[in-house]
Structure 1
């Protein structure tokens, strides 16, 4: 018997209003954390900043306790791809840190991520960040009603690969709403086979994870932190995106953080 595809949840107008609130809050906390990234700060201090902001806003972390995850946010440094845990690690000049913030507000989840350089970083790392962020916007441009999910997914790798970087295949984006991970999965490469046609009211967390070297990754002994197999740098950007009849709406809208002029875009 063929496996039955799980239903993608279509959000109502009231649902979407709730998700706008959660998305804006997730974006605000992410931006505050990014602004606090300086040489000498610890990843625990950044996580504690997020915890305080969540408490002040009457929201909760969508990550804390999820399958046992011990942090309020995911904080991954340099070769750490995703799911890093805040701790005593001190950020140094030339590092990069991936900050992933998910909040639960009034029953709805906002989920977003960025990669922040710590002080000045080398040109290759700047390009990695700019390419990764631009690949996210390449995908978002195709996230509209009538297109297939595969068009969105394929846009990431199609942009990244000619730039000399690779996309992580073991970890993917996802639908989001009342649950952190809803259908559908949103890989950063074109999946094999037929994929759903996008409809207004679908909400996707699109999140390219791009490596400077090999696409291969492994998980550290803490059971969470994902690192590149060759220990080269990795970048991660994410937005929660609402599918509409026209251009997608960024529920986690914020200013561009990388430097697109490096790519000749501006």
Structure 2
């Protein structure tokens, strides 16, 4: 989506706040002993209270209101009977729509007790997201996002999952530009246009390079298997940089 007026911007900001608040509340409730279905229900109720609709459920028939991925699961995990345990690495991805506007956000969390290596991975995952966002601006090369994240990842000794990309969002969950690499891509020649709405969501890993599908048709796993974190915001490109719309408030 490309924002063309203030009403559209306010619509995207409104659903951005809703998904951000939902993610915040789910993260606050995350604790050992609960199932991923119980965590998902917290997200569902929050979306319903705000008059929002789960995007993966409504657009793709996903069997849950949110995606919750634990440890070896790196994305699109189905909420269910899995019990969250101490030390688990949990990714929560929340996307929804309201009044015809969509937004998408996500983050990874360690259930205490933690360990220094995973804490470093999470901290650097958040840094990779900020580095990608800093490359956003009207007229700037879209490839700059992946180049900057790639330099950071290489310098810190990480790999990036190279078949899970950022994407356009706003009037649908996935729209133009359909795939935005968060890794260096020499073939990318597009430029960021003013008002463009899209996600920044690097998947930073200690050794994984690709995502592969599992038996349930939804859940994705890293290849080779290694810890992976994902942090995601929806942004709007302006002449002064990025406006992040998925902030709680």
Q: TM-score, normalised by structure 1?
A: 0.89
How many angstroms does 1:65 deviate by? Answer: 4.2
Match of 1:169 in 2: 162
Counterparts in 2 of 1:215 and 1:174: CA distance versus 1, 3 Å: same
Which structure 2 residues correspond to residues 141-180 of structure 1 after superposition, within 5 A? 141-180=134-173
Distance 1:154 1:183 in 2: 20
Matched, 1:78 2:84: no
Residue 12 of structure 1 aligns with which residue?
A: 4
In structure 2, distance between residues paired with 1:191 and 1:231: 23
Alignment counterpart, residue 193 of structure 1, candidates 187, 190, 193: 187
Return the offset for 1:108: 0.4
Task: State the secondary structure of the residue aligned to 1:112.
Answer: strand
Is residue 241 of structure 2 the alignment partner of residue 239 of structure 1?
Answer: no
- For structure 1, list consecutive stretches of 5 or more residues without a partner in the other structure: 1-8, 256-266
Query: Are the counterparts in 2 of residues 132 and 160 from structure 1 also a CA contact under 8 Å?
Result: no
TM-superposed deviation, 1:120: 2.1
Say which structure is richer in strand: 2
| 1:180 Cα deviation from its structure 2 partner | 0.4
Moved >3 Å (runs of 4+): none
Residue of structure 1 equivalent to 2:94: 101
**50-59 or 19-28: which moved more?**
50-59
Q: Distance in 1 between matches of 2:201 and 2:183?
A: 11
Q: Alignment partner of 1:171: what SS?
A: coil
Structure 1 position 39, deviation (Å): 1.0
* Cα displacement (A) at 1:190: 2.2
**Which residue matches 1:59?**
52
String of CA shifts for 1:124-169, please: whole Å, max 9, x gaps: 1111111111111001011011211000122112111221111111
Q: 1:113 aligns with which of 106, 130, 138?
A: 106
Task: For 1:50 and 1:194, locate their aligned partners in 2 and report how far apart those are by CA, in whole Å.
Answer: 36
Contact 1:76–1:99, Cα closer than 8 Å, also in 2: yes
Distance in structure 1 (CA, Å) of the matches to 2:248 and 2:122: 16
Helix, strand or coil at the partner of 2:108: strand
CA distances 1:58-80 after superposition (whole Å, capped 9, x unpaired):
11001114333111101001121
Q: In structure 2, what is the Cα distance between the partners aligned to 1:37 and 1:212?
A: 24
**TM-score calculated relative to the size of structure 2:** 0.95
Q: Which position in structure 2 is the counterpart of 1:251?
A: 245
What does residue 215 of structure 2 align with?
221
- Segments of 5+ residues of structure 2 without an aligned counterpart are none
